[in-house]
Amino acid sequence: MSHPNENAQKLSGILSRVLSIALETITDATAPENTATWDSYNALMLVSELETAFAVSFTMEEVIAVKNVGDIKAALRRHGVTIDDV
C-alpha cells in the first residue's frame, strides 16, 4: 500500500475541514452531487484554501471546470503541484 504524499494529505485535510466530511470518505469521485456540504459557499472556501495552501492562483475557467476531487488534483498538477493518487 502506497502512502499519499504530503500534498495529497494536505488536500484531503482541506477537503475534510471545509466540507466537514471524514478523511476516509474522500475519493477522486467525491463531488458536489454526492457531498451534501459541497455547496456554492464551500466551493468558494475550497478555492481560497487551496490557493493559499498550495500558493497557486486558479483561473475562473479552472474553477468552473472542477466537477470532483479528481479535477482538483488535475488542476493542482497543471500548476506544478505534485500529488500522488491515494
Could you tell me the pTM of the whole model?
A: 0.90
**Domain boundary assignment for the chain:** 6-78
Helices first, then strands: H and E counts in the chain: 4, 0
For domain 6-78, give the CATH superfamily.
ACP-like (1.10.1200.10)
Q: pLDDT per residue over 22-78, tens digit each?
A: 999 999 999 999 999 999 999 999 999 999 999 999 999 999 999 999 999 999 999
DSSP per position, 26-45: --TT--GGG-TT--HHHHHH
Q: Which pLDDT score is estimated for 1? A: 36
Q: Which residue has the cell 475550497?
A: 46
55: left (phi over 0), alpha (psi -120 to 50) or beta: left
